[in-house]
Each structure stands twice: as C-alpha cells, then as structure tokens.
Amino acid sequence: MPAKNYSSTRFSGLNEINSGNAQNLKLAWTFSTGVLRGHEAAPIVVNNTMYIVTPYPNIVYALDLTQPGAPLKWKFEPNPASASQGVACCDFVNRGLVYYDNRIYFNTLDDQTIALDAATGSEVWRTKVGEINLGESITMAPLVVNGKVLVGNSGGEFGVRGWLTALDAGSGKVVWKAYHTGPDADVLIGPNFKPFYPQDQGKDLGVASWPADAWKIGGGTMWGWISYDPEQNLIFYGTANPGPWNPDQRPGDNKWTCGIFARNPDTGEARWFYQFTPHDLHDYDSINEQILLDLPINGQTRKVLVRPERNGYVYVIDRTTGQVLSANAFGYITATKGVDLNTGKLIENPEMKPEVGKVVRNICPAAPGAKDWQPSAFSPNTGLVYIPHQNLCMDSEGLEANYIAGTPYVGMNVRMYAGPGGNRGEFLAWDPVNGKKVWALPEKFPVWSGALATAGDVVFYGTMDGWFKAVDAHTGNLLWQFKCGSGIIGQPISYKGADGKQYIAILSGIGGWSGAIVAGGLDPRDATAALGFAAAMTDLPNATTKGGMLYVFSLP
C-alpha cells in the first residue's frame, strides 16, 4: 500500500542506505510512463515486481525486478471515459494502487474500482462506484482491510455528496456505503457512535447542521488517506470541505464535512467523529493522512493518531476516543487562533471571514492549506514526523465574471502567494510529543511530494522543480540530490531488490492542483486559474516541464 503499513508511517526498515553513504546514491534504472499529467502515486513493490498506476488514463504497469533494467511484465489499460477529465477538479491525478492477496486494486478517474490478477494483469472484476455525469470522480488510492476495498469519491465543487464505500475484495460487490452528510442511517451512525465532544453528539446532525435540504448536495467527499488499527478494528479517515454552497448559504457546522471518522471496516459503522474545521470558510478539506502511533503523553503511553491538518495544526488525537490531546501550528496561520483543548473547538478569526464583494487580505493558510494531500512519514528511530507542506497565503478581492454551462456568474477573485519568508514550500521535521518544529528546509515551490523515512536515518522527498532529495533524519542536512526530468509530486518508496540491495524509487511528472499550470498548460496570465493557485506558480513553467518518469536509485 502507498502508506507502507496500516499505521501509515511510510517508514522503511531498510538501512543499507544511511546518512553516511547516501551521497553515493546513483541512478539504477528508469521507466517512462508515457503519460504527461501529474504523477502523485507511489510505486508498489511485491514479490520482486513493481506496480505503477498513472494519472488518467490510469494505466497499470508491472515491472519485473528480477531482470536487469526491470522490463515490462504486463500492462493494463482500463480505458476510462474521456469525459471524466471534465469533472476532475485539479488535474487528472491518481494517488496509487494497492496490493492485497495476489491482486492489485486501483481506482479510475471515471469512478471504477478494478481488481487485477497481480501475476498476469488480467482483470478479475470492475465495479462502477460513482457517476461522472453527476460530477463524481475518483483520485484516491484504495485501502484493503479485512477483505474490504475502501474507496471514496471526489467532486465536492460539483455538488456531489461525499461517501466512503467498501467493496468485497473477492467479488467487487458493495458491502457498505457511508455518506458524509444526511441522516444517521445514511452516515452509518448507530448506537455504538460515541464522539468525544458534545458538538458531535445528537441525532441526525448531518441534516440538522445544514439549512433545509442543503446536505443533499453538501460535499464532504473522501479523496485522501485511510489508516487502520487492527487492535481496535477501526479505520480512520477524514472528509473534505462542504460544497458547493458558500458559507453564508450553509449556516451551521455542516456535518460531517472537514472532520475525521473512526469506523468499523466490516460494517462501516461509525465509532467516533471529530470536526477539525466546522463550517469551513476556506476550502480546508480534511483528507490528509493520519499516522497511528503510541506516544508518551504527559507521562503515559497513549494510542494516538497524528494528523498534520490542512488548517495548519498538527493534531494529536486519542484514537480510541477521538479526544484532541494537542493541536499545535506547524504552518503560518491567520485564519484561526488555535484549538480550545477543553471543547475541541477551532477558534475562528472573524477578521478573516471572506464575504462576497469584501476584500480580505492575508488569509493564511491559503485554500490548499498549510498541507494538502501529500503524505508525511514517521521514523521510530528519531521520533519525528516529516511533513512536506506549503507556505501560502491568499487574498480574496473583488469579483470576477465567469461562465459555465451557458450561464454567467461571479466568483470571488482569489490570489495566492508565498507566506512569510517568501518560500512557497517547506520540508519540516516535527516532534509530535512536544508539539514542536525540530528543523525545517525552505523550498521555493510548495513541497507537493510525499515523504519517506528509512531505518538508515535518511529521509527522502522531491520538489516541484524536479530535485529528488535525501536529507539527514536528525538534522535535515542535505546528503544527496538528483535532478529528475520533471517536477516531483509523487510518493517515494524504498524496497529490497531481487539482488538484496536497497533501492529508492520515485515517480516524477509535474501536475496536480499546484502543478496544473504546467501539466494543464494553463496560461500564466490567468491569475485566477486553478482557483487562484496558478497566480502563485507563474514561474513554475520556467522551472520544469511535464512528463511521467520513474526513477530508481541505489548505492553503486
């Protein structure tokens, strides 16, 4: 699985490559995916075979690691509907496939979940789980737990209603489906639902916290990461922002958007929920990763999950109860003033509330948050969480005429720019016990790649201008770097090759929301393109070009 393990640590126990020899890393082999869009996926290595899924058209490749140069073993083309490109909000990405019990599971942009025979690449089943005609698409990597393939939808800006569904891994049949808005019966909230805070307790809050029928097109999709705690038999995952309504049109907490669910993976039944950002004002989807750890908190070991959240705080939450133990800012924040640990409530800054026609400046973090989907890593050796993230603020000013489906309308004119320091990105080492930054590496562009930590105390990440970097896990010192052909927004992995050597692999290929200006060929003169993100990235086309390519490194 892309997260390496159910706890989502992205920690490799391999230590052949260490902080003493990483400077000797050399390119071992490469592979071109033939796709030009943003490559966000992690390669997966099982039984000396590497599996890769590309952005739309979602081709799956299997590469034979026992042979020199890793020749192609098989290739599978699902042929998703081309119309699905029109419903993807932010480039046509795919965040990865998963291996489970001799099969490969992945999702297509046009809402299909597909199971392949891992050995041959032949299709075992495919299930259509969403409807592109209603604006649904799928970009997330599935997770398989107890023989259930867990899949969620994207498309909050199209007025879809968010859900997570479980398919039987053997047959592809839907076992359960939990919506993220609406009545308790739809959300799979029953007698065992025990949220920690009073604001999350009550009947049918997924209806009551919305005006009239607004929940029916209320957003709260799920396009990010799921973790699993086998001991409790609970999955944990977050929900995206409320949409397509503006905040003024949806007074209330808008449950169950922008929060985290704990659910039983077999039945879907909800155990607890916590809302990071009630009544979201700034597009702070809560779909980020959660790392399951047992940490010493105030003298006792607590079963926690650690979540660097889009709103700029690292939350440490008791994963048995949903209680917030700490929430400390890891990014620059003006939009809110902290989290009240007694009530669990986020403290809004009313001055930063955007309103139509009102100019609000210096809203930090900007809409992509202090951190978006790009997953962190945790090293048990150092006890640190390695967080790739961005440092962006935004102004909302004036209105702009726009046009869709034959109808003119006005949208707020949002512009993003670098936050304090002028660097748009940062790679950060965070001490989750003390809630403190340990070291940080400023990067020119948002760090939109995932992180990898290894037992050799080397941490890997990539930059949007194409540098793949190895840094010392303790100090952040740069040990080695390699310039890839295209910007990096993928997830690095480490694996042991058939020859017993340790390898590091990364997909390069610029794109995603942040890189859409290159992958989508956006016009830098359209300041509000990519929802204002393009304005902050006008120099990216000079720094990199598109093209999907796998790079694999090893010691000589």
Partner 1 sequence: MSSLFRRRACWDRRGPRLSNYNQRALGFAACCEEWLCLSVVMPHYFGLRPSTLRKESASFQSERRSRRLFLTPSGKAQPFLTTNGEAGEYCLKDKAGNSRFAIRTLQARTLPVPTLVALTVIAVLSLSCTRSRGSSQTSAIPSQARTALRVCSDPNNLPFSNQEGRGFENKLAEMIASDMGLKVEYTWWAQRRGFFRNTLKAGACDVVMGVPAAFEMALTTSPYYRSTYVFVSRSNRHLAISSLDDPQLRTLRLGVQMVGDDFSNSPPAHALSRRGMIQNVKGYTLYGDYSKPNPPAEIIDAVERNDIDVGIAWGPMAGYFARHARLPLTLTPVTPQIDQPFLPFVFDISMGVRREDVALKEQLDRILEKHRTDIYKLLDDYGVPRLGGPEGSRVNARY
Report, in Å, the least distance between residue 316 CB and partner 1.
29
Active-site entry in 40, 91, 157, 443 = 157
Residue 298 vs 401, nearer CB to partner 1: 401
Q: Which stretch binds partner 1 (CB under 8 A): 93-101, 247-255, 294-302, 335-343?
A: 247-255
Active-site entry in 186, 253, 269, 283 = 283
Report, in Å, the least distance between residue 411 CB and partner 1.
3
Residue type, 449: S
Backbone angles phi, psi at 187, to 5 degrees: -85, -5
Distance between CA atoms of residues 358 and 278, nearest Å = 22
Distance between CA atoms of residues 90 and 372, nearest Å = 12
Q: Are 309 and 241 in contact (CB under 8 A)?
A: no
For the chain, how many helices (H) and strands (E)? 4, 38
Residue 241 vs 288, nearer CB to partner 1: 241
CB atoms within 10 A of CB 409: 11
* Under rule CB under 8 A, residue 244 binds partner 1: yes
Residue 27 vs 410, nearer CB to partner 1: 410
* Under rule CB under 8 A, residue 208 binds partner 1: no
* Under rule CB under 8 A, residue 406 binds partner 1: yes
Distance between CA atoms of residues 378 and 353, nearest Å = 34
- The full DSSP string for 281-315 is SS--------EEEEEEETTEEEEEEEEE-TTSEEE
Distance between CA atoms of residues 345 and 349, nearest Å = 13
Report, in Å, the least distance between residue 351 CB and partner 1.
15
Active-site entry in 58, 107, 241, 423 = 241
Residue list 112-141, contact with partner 1 (CB under 8 A): 131-135
* Under rule CB under 8 A, residue 251 binds partner 1: yes
Report, in Å, the least distance between residue 402 CB and partner 1.
7
Q: Which of 5, 526, 539, 542 binds partner 1 (CB under 8 A)?
A: 526
Give the pair of three-digit tokens for residue 35.
């796709």
Q: Which of 358, 420, 421, 483 binds partner 1 (CB under 8 A)?
A: 358
Beta-carbon contacts of residue 323 (< 8 Å; ≥ 6 apart): 196, 317, 344
Q: Is 241 a catalytic residue?
A: yes
Q: Are 113 and 129 in contact (CB under 8 A)?
A: yes
Report, in Å, the least distance between residue 113 CB and partner 1.
20
* Under rule CB under 8 A, residue 356 binds partner 1: yes
* Under rule CB under 8 A, residue 416 binds partner 1: no
Q: Which of 181, 241, 254, 326 binds partner 1 (CB under 8 A)?
A: 241
Per-residue mark of binding to partner 1, 359-398 (x: CB under 8 A): x-------x----------------------------xxx
* Under rule CB under 8 A, residue 408 binds partner 1: yes
Distance between CA atoms of residues 556 and 24, nearest Å = 7
Q: Are 442 and 344 in contact (CB under 8 A)?
A: no
Q: Is 426 a catalytic residue?
A: no
Report, in Å, the least distance between residue 132 CB and partner 1.
8
Report, in Å, the least distance between residue 405 CB and partner 1.
5
* Under rule CB under 8 A, residue 533 binds partner 1: no
* Under rule CB under 8 A, residue 422 binds partner 1: no
Q: Is 157 a catalytic residue?
A: yes
Q: Which of 174, 295, 478, 527 binds partner 1 (CB under 8 A)?
A: 527
- The full DSSP string for 385-454 is EEEEEE-EEEEEEEEEEEEETTEEEEEEEEEEEE-TTS-SEEEEEEETTTTEEEEEEEESS---S--EEE
* Under rule CB under 8 A, residue 529 binds partner 1: yes
Q: Which of 354, 368, 456, 511 binds partner 1 (CB under 8 A)?
A: 354
Which residue spans within 19-102 are E strands per DSSP?
26-32, 44-46, 49-53, 60-64, 72-76, 98-100
Cα distances (Å, whole numbers) of residue 411 to 218, 392, 404: 19, 20, 11
Residue list 159-178, contact with partner 1 (CB under 8 A): 159
Q: Which stretch binds partner 1 (CB under 8 A): 87-95, 374-382, 478-486, 496-504?
A: 87-95
Report, in Å, the least distance between residue 152 CB and partner 1.
18
Q: Are 371 and 390 in contact (CB under 8 A)?
A: yes
Cα distances (Å, whole numbers) of residue 450 to 10, 63, 141, 347: 9, 22, 14, 29
Tell me which residue has tokens 């397509």. 244
Q: Please name the residue ranges forming H helices in 10-108.
A: none
* Under rule CB under 8 A, residue 89 binds partner 1: yes
Q: Which of 68, 191, 212, 300 binds partner 1 (CB under 8 A)?
A: 212
Residue list 282-301, contact with partner 1 (CB under 8 A): 283
# chain residues binding partner 1, by CB under 8 A: 67
Q: Are 310 and 288 in contact (CB under 8 A)?
A: yes
> What residues are annotated to the active site?
157, 241, 283
Question: Binding residues for partner 1, per CB under 8 A?
Answer: 83, 85-89, 131-135, 156-159, 211-214, 217, 219, 241-246, 248-251, 283, 354, 356-359, 367, 396-414, 520-523, 525-529, 531
